[in-house]
């Protein structure tokens, strides 16, 4: 299998405060990687480094073998990196459909009129088609999360980053989310998923990494990683939040 993402010795610091320290991870085409760790472990910062929202203090990031470390977020999106945010950021004054269209047209550089059918299909898949003409700013939190996923899906990402997208969902909604993620994988998407709802994560991912204080604590088979006493201690800390 081909390596789609290579994070090579990446460190990010803000002054003397090191948020991510010497992280090296490779991700193969079609793989689903789970990321766990307590709040403040550096998980979302790692996503920001992958997507270009911030640049590493040291280390390099490669996508399909090409160094993208210095590329801006827009170019990384067009190269096939899509993401959702822990806190949804829709264009509140635009409709749900228009938000999805932005992902399809501007995220990948397609003509708007060529994206309409795809956007309708995506909204139907995530359960938002009946709210397609509603203003995104009027959505409740759970529907904003659905819209986050729809916008990311619309950009046709080869690499999809999910940041705590299951947070706040019911068991039934989480099950629907898992079905969507599995469907995306079946379509060829490679996924990295940060999640505190670990039972959902374990139903999807092939491999699991644990971060703590910006470092990579463990990496491997999900069952093996979760059986580690050190990881279990961190997991119980997550459960207690």
In this predicted structure, what is the pLDDT of residue 82? Answer: 95
* Predicted structure pTM score: 0.91
Residue burial 108-141, b: 16+ Cβ < 10 Å; e: rest: bebeeeebeebbeebbebbbbbebbeebbeebee
| 212 pLDDT higher than 90 | yes
In this predicted structure, what is the pLDDT of residue 108? Answer: 76
Q: What is the assigned CATH class of domain 29-55+71-80+157-241?
A: alpha beta
Return the percentage of the chain with pLDDT > 70, whole number: 97
In this predicted structure, what is the pLDDT of residue 50? Answer: 98
| 241 pLDDT higher than 50 | no
| 127 pLDDT higher than 50 | yes
| 169 pLDDT higher than 90 | no
Q: Are strands 3-14 and 17-28 parallel, antiparallel or unpaired?
A: antiparallel
In this predicted structure, what is the pLDDT of residue 237? Answer: 58
In this predicted structure, what is the pLDDT of residue 33? Answer: 98
Q: What average pLDDT does the segment 14-39 reach?
A: 95
Q: With beta carbons less than 8 A apart as the criterion, state whether 96 and 82 touch.
A: no
| 239 pLDDT higher than 50 | no
In this predicted structure, what is the pLDDT of residue 25? Answer: 97
CA distances from residue 195 to 13, 31, 231 in whole angstroms, order as listed: 23, 16, 14
Q: Are strands 159-163 and 81-83 parallel, antiparallel or unpaired?
A: parallel
Q: What average pLDDT does the segment 7-17 reach?
A: 96
Q: With beta carbons less than 8 A apart as the criterion, state whether 121 and 187 touch.
A: no
Q: What average pLDDT does the segment 147-172 reach?
A: 93
Lookup: tokens for 121: 């299909």
| 27 pLDDT higher than 90 | yes
Helix (H) or strand (E) holding 152: helix 141-154
Q: What average pLDDT does the segment 64-83 reach?
A: 95
Domain ranges of the chain: 29-55+71-80+157-241, 94-153
Report how far residue 232's alpha carbon sits from residue 238's, in angstroms, rounded to the nearest whole number: 10
pLDDT tens-digit readout, 97-119 = 999 999 999 887 778 888 999 99
Q: What average pLDDT does the segment 177-192 reach?
A: 90
Return the percentage of the chain with pLDDT > 90, whole number: 73
State the chain's mean pLDDT as an integer.
92
């Amino acid at each position: 299998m081909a390596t789609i993402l290579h994070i090579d010795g990446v460190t990010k610091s803000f002054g003397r405060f090191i948020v991510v320290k010497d992280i090296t991870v490779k991700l193969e085409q079609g793989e689903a990687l789970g990321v766990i760790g307590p709040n403040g472990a550096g998980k979302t910062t790692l996503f920001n480094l992958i997507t270009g929202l911030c640049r590493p203090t040291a280390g390099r990031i490669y996508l399909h073998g090409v160094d993208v470390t210095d590329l801006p977020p827009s170019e990384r999106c067009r190269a096939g990196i899509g993401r959702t945010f822990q806190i949804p950021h829709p264009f509140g004054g635009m409709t749900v459909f228009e938000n999805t269209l932005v992902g399809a047209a501007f995220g990948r550089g397609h003509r708007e009129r060529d994206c309409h059918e795809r956007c309708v299909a995506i909204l139907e898949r995530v359960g938002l088609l009946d709210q397609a003409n509603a203003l995104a700013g009027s959505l409740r939190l759970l529907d904003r999360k659905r819209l986050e996923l729809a916008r990311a899906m619309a950009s046709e990402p080869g690499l999809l980053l999910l940041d705590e997208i299951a947070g706040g969902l019911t068991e039934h909604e989480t099950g629907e989310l898992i079905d969507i993620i599995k469907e995306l994988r079946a379509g060829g998407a490679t996924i990295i998923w940060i999640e505190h709802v670990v039972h959902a994560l374990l139903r999807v991912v092939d491999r699991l990494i644990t971060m703590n204080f910006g470092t990579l604590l463990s990496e491997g088979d999900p069952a093996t990683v979760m059986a580690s006493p050190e990881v279990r201690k961190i997991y119980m800390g997550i459960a207690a939040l």
